[in-house]
Amino acid sequence: MSTHGYEQELRAERGYVDGLYGRLDDERARVRAAFDAALLGNGGTHLERDDEVRALGKVAKRLDAVDNGLCFGRLDPLDGKASYIGRIGLFDEDDDYEPVLLDWRAPASRPFYTATGAHPEGMRRRRQFHTRGRRIVDFTDEVLGRPGEDERGDAALLAAVNAPRGEGMRDIVATIQAEQDEIIRLDHPGVLVIEGGPGTGKTVVALHRVAYLLYTQRERMERHGVLVVGPNPAFLDHIGRVLPSLGESDVVFTTAGGLVPGLRVTAEDRPEAARLKGSLKILDVLRAAVADRQVLPAEPIRINLRDFTGRIDAAVAEWARDEARKSGLPHNEARAVFTEILTYVLTERAIARIGKGWLTRDNREAWERVRTELLGELAVDDVFTGALDALWPVLKPEEVLAELFSSPERLRSAGGDQALWRERGDAWTVSDVPLLDELVDLLGRDKADDRAARQEREAQAEYAESVLDSLISRADSMDDEDHLYAQDLLYAEDLADRFGETDTRTLVERAAADRDWTYRHVVVDEAQELSEMDWRVLMRRCPGKSFTVVGDLAQRRSPAGATSWDAVLKPYAEGRWVYRSLTVNYRTPAEIMAVAAAVLAEFAPEVRAPESVRACGVRPWSRGVTDDGLVAAVEEFVRDEAGREGTSVVIGPPDVPGAVPASETKGLEFDAVLVVDPDRILADGPRGAAELYVALTRATQRLGVLHRDALPRSLDGLVGRTAPVGS
């Protein structure tokens, strides 16, 4: 195309995209007007109004999120009209709702990602726009249908992967590659495992798959939403903007430590404790710990009733305990069975004594009247209620687990390993979360507490409605000298709304606060780190077993983590899980990947490192330093990178100033990485090599290594450096 022809095409494309933004703005204004009207009330019930407000709010968020890069490409078929591809679909209302912009997830958009020179799929040309805000800066064309070499990417892809990193992960909606697109659109209702080495884009592919599923199955999925589980808060912050940028907001992001609402993780387990807690064998310990709280009296407990003194001895308590256990109910709910047996024994014996000589079972009415009176006495008898609390207490998950782990005696009684002991029982760790979650089901709800809370809510609602009724009655009966202000009625209506049954929280807020919430789909990133107990929690959160699982077994560090996907998934999704791998590294340049591959070959020789799609032209380097010179060398690196565009990080042991551990950088990427003391990282437990592999593969442009002791043999490929770090 000549320069003159290119400029004409660019002006035409800019004009077309300007028109798309005009339609977007009109649609935004329409939705905003409808949203405002719904807030004021359009008739109907409060619940109907809230549903309408929520629905319109979601649409408004979706429209606001797609402003940047609304349209990023065009497809020209061999015959017919060109199609423009973008973040959402837009339609011409004046032309029988003809699409003027295709959503990237629509079936008609797929050739934009999959057509090649050898297999053009009926397309003549693919055009990609490079935009800044709402303006097209330039475009590149790829002519299809001609035989050519099997290239892994084009100019747009290479420009994207070479661009400096910002504060968070970017979507790849404009540069999705064919192998990624196949996974994103895979029609599989069960569990999809996506495995890939560093830089293969497995995380961003999983997020785009969520966006695709929400687009194709929106009615089924958006009422319950999607859960995304990541390894740490920094990772969640990093990926948190991808789905909103694609117009999707009904997604809860959390770590494994956040799966029990309100719990605060403050400690870290020793490797052996983490391994024990992660095994399904811990279930037996938890069940035994609960059973250990269902005790028998050492001495008979005397209960004074009217004209009778009863006793709760070991035999009676054992009968009540056996019946409660046989009920199959959770501990707190089974307390009712335990109580019923005890009250039955006490009242039957009391009636037999009190009614001796005049009362028989044939006189049912009198018998039941006496029994009712005795039950009333027992209900307020401090000794009896104290006996119940001692023999079958109402338990909370936190108190059971805290007392178990801080008591060697309780651990022994429950069959737990003493490696689980800790001084502070409530110093919660990530490994405690699935145990606490399991205890919620083992213990069940406290029916009395639930009933009291419900009664309180009902009383508050009744009071609020009475305030509103009284004000309305006053308005009807007031004379000219009375004054009733509008805000009085508004306050009363707000009070009634507040205590009513409607819930105005967003789906994300409701789901994140509700331990019993179930999701339509769950994404698990860094899944190789999850234990058997972690998987049990997650499967409970998604009864339909619809998962996208992302991981790399070669990067596993946790002693309780997965060693094979089949072992993890077979108990829950046998015959319903499929495996896909990503083999091309889009992040790590070939020069850095060669160094990391040498580390991988030593600790996982059976695993093949992903092949890098590009080179950066900068060799990774190493430099030996003394203890005294380490801080200065790190500071030089930081100063040098501060003057460059992009991001950087120092990864090393805890005593290195300004360094973060490799585990906190999982899933993240930086333009420049400085790894300090690789030999000490290698020596940190059995998975130290995996930690070093992670550290080396975070860089997209530049990698340096500082070492105080001898450089590990696997890093012999690094270029030695004696000049200052910043040179």
Q: Domains in the chain, start-ordered, CATH in brackets?
A: 3-145 (no CATH), 277-443 (no CATH), 590-720 (3.40.50.300)
Answer yes or no: is 197 a known binding residue: yes
Q: What is the mean pLDDT of residues 124-141?
A: 89
Answer yes or no: is 199 a known binding residue: yes
% of the chain surpassing 90 pLDDT:
52
Instruction: Give the pLDDT band (50/70/90) at residue 727.
Output: very low
Answer yes or no: is 724 a known binding residue: no
Cβ atoms 338, 324 nearer than 8 A: yes
Exposed e or buried b for every residue in 210-221, given b needs 16+ CB within 10 A? bbbbbbeeeeeb
Half-sphere CA count of 68, side-chain side, radius 13 A: 11
DSSP assigned state of 169: P
The amino acid present at 57, given as its one-letter code, is: G
Beta strands in 420-490 (DSSP E): none
DSSP assigned state of 530: -
Higher-confidence residue: 491 or 548?
A: 548
Calculate the alpha carbon distances from 660 to 181, 622, 624, 650 in Å. 34, 19, 20, 6
The candidate with the shortest Cα–Cα distance to 260, out of 538, 504, 572, is 538
Instruction: Give the pLDDT band (50/70/90) at residue 498.
Output: low
Q: pTM for the full model?
A: 0.77
The candidate with the shortest Cα–Cα distance to 202, out of 548, 539, 522, is 548
pLDDT in tens, 563-588: 999 999 999 999 999 999 998 888 88
Q: What is the predicted pLDDT for the residue at 1?
A: 64
Q: What is the predicted pLDDT for the residue at 474?
A: 55
Answer yes or no: is 330 a known binding residue: no
Describe the crossing of helices 565-573 and 532-541 by its angle, rounded to 10 degrees. Answer: 40
Q: What is the mean pLDDT of residues 56-76?
A: 89
Beta strands in 172-325 (DSSP E): 191-196, 226-230, 251-255, 301-305, 308-312
Q: What is the predicted pLDDT for the residue at 145?
A: 61
Radius of gyration of the chain, Cα coordinates, nearest whole angstrom: 33
> In the predicted model, what is the mean pLDDT of the chain?
85
H or E element, residue 685: none
pLDDT in tens, 595-614: 999 999 988 888 888 888 78
Distance CA 281, CA 438 (A): 13
Structure tokens at 582: 């990503």
Cβ atoms 215, 34 nearer than 8 A: no
Place of tokens 């349209």: 71
% of the chain surpassing 70 pLDDT:
85
Distance CA 114, CA 692 (A): 35
Exposed e or buried b for every residue in 491-520, given b needs 16+ CB within 10 A? ebbebbbebeeeeeebbeeebbeeeebebb
Answer yes or no: is 629 a known binding residue: no
DSSP assigned state of 578: E
Q: What is the predicted pLDDT for the residue at 227?
A: 95
Give every CB contact of residue 456 below 8 A, 6+ residues apart in sequence: none
Q: What is the predicted pLDDT for the residue at 716?
A: 85
Q: What is the mean pLDDT of residues 640-652?
A: 92
Q: How many residues does the chain have?
A: 727
Strand pairing report for 301-305 and 308-312: antiparallel
H or E element, residue 649: strand 648-651
Higher-confidence residue: 209 or 1?
A: 209
Strand pairing report for 135-143 and 251-255: unpaired
Distance CA 205, CA 139 (A): 24
Give every CB contact of residue 492 below 8 A, 6+ residues apart in sequence: 464, 467, 468, 471
Helix, strand or coil, per DSSP, at residue 105: coil
Half-sphere CA count of 727, side-chain side, radius 13 A: 6
pLDDT in tens, 291-326: 999 999 999 999 988 778 899 999 999 999 999 999
Distance CA 320, CA 311 (A): 14
Answer yes or no: is 201 a known binding residue: yes
| Greatest mean pLDDT among 31-40, 357-366, 461-470, 693-702 | 693-702
Residue 501 has pLDDT above 60, yes or no: no
Residue 182, φ and ψ in degrees, nearest 5: -60, -40
Answer yes or no: is 198 a known binding residue: yes
The candidate with the shortest Cα–Cα distance to 294, out of 418, 406, 159, 391, is 391
Answer yes or no: is 202 a known binding residue: yes
pLDDT in tens, 51-64: 788 888 888 888 98
Give every CB contact of residue 46 below 8 A, 6+ residues apart in sequence: 497, 500, 502
Lowest mean pLDDT among 84-98, 259-273, 442-456, 484-498: 484-498
Cβ atoms 671, 703 nearer than 8 A: no
Q: What is the predicted pLDDT for the residue at 461?
A: 55
Instruction: Give the pLDDT band (50/70/90) at residue 153.
Output: very low
Place of tokens 């160094």: 595
pLDDT in tens, 681-699: 998 766 888 899 999 999 9
Higher-confidence residue: 255 or 153?
A: 255
The amino acid present at 216, given as its one-letter code, is: T
Strand pairing report for 123-132 and 71-77: antiparallel
Instruction: Give the pLDDT band (50/70/90) at residue 726.
Output: very low
The amino acid present at 274, given as its one-letter code, is: A
